[in-house]
Amino acid sequence: MKLKTLRIRNFRCFKGMDDIDVGSMHALVGTNNAGKSTVLRAVDFLFNPSTRKINEESFYRRDTSLRIEVEGVFFDLDAQEKNSLETYLKPDGTFHLMRTAQIRAEDGDASADEDEGDSKVAIQAHYCKPQPKVDWLNPGKITGKNIDEWWANKTTLVHNDVSFANLLGGAKPKVADWKDKAAEFVVKHLKPDDLEDA
């Protein structure tokens, strides 16, 4: 897996920045205080997130009300990586990961009490998971109410010339069953253009 693109927001000297296209060899050149070290720290945060690395100075203009966001798009995954990340891959085969850091709302500053072992910084990982464009295949839109509507018009449950209703069988399924069959249908019958980033 190789890093293809890097994006940094609200981190140290960067409020927001255009994507950095990363090559197999990449040089950072600039004057003092241009942000070279910040780019390296952002990459470190993306790969090695730790609350100990985040303090008030980590936030753009020390504004701890902001959320730090460091995003990376990865390509050239090997077979094992493709297999383990299969449900998170974009149609073009890339993997999109974002790490965020934010001060917990109740605390108000970025210092951590290392003696107690708990941090006032919340770090999260966010994955861009492609979802079907068709509502009745999108797990976030499959609800009991929607199933009632879709089932009333089950002859319209066709995509890429394949009937989803036939896969479901004769009786109206419950939400969990519909989601299971939808996931199976997505793997077997959807094309990359049938998916969009969630």
The domain containing residue 114 runs over which residues?
Answer: 2-128
Asked whether residue 98 falls in the same domain as residue 147, the answer is: no
Domain boundary among 128, 156, 182: 128
Q: What is the CATH number of the domain that holds 55?
A: 3.40.50.300
Give the chain's domain count. Answer: 2
Asked whether residue 118 falls in the same domain as residue 41, the answer is: yes
Asked whether residue 117 falls in the same domain as residue 55, the answer is: yes
Asked whether residue 37 falls in the same domain as residue 86, the answer is: yes
C-alpha separations of 37 from 117, 156, 169 in Å:
28, 55, 59
C-alpha separations of 198 from 28, 113, 135, 141 in Å:
32, 36, 13, 12
Cα angle 56-27-19, degrees, rounded to a multiple of 5: 60
pLDDT of the chain, 198 residues: tens digit per residue: 999 999 999 999 999 887 899 988 888 898 998 889 999 999 999 999 999 989 999 999 999 999 999 999 999 999 999 989 887 888 778 899 999 999 987 644 444 444 434 579 999 999 877 788 999 999 889 999 999 999 999 999 999 999 999 988 888 999 999 999 998 898 889 887 888 876
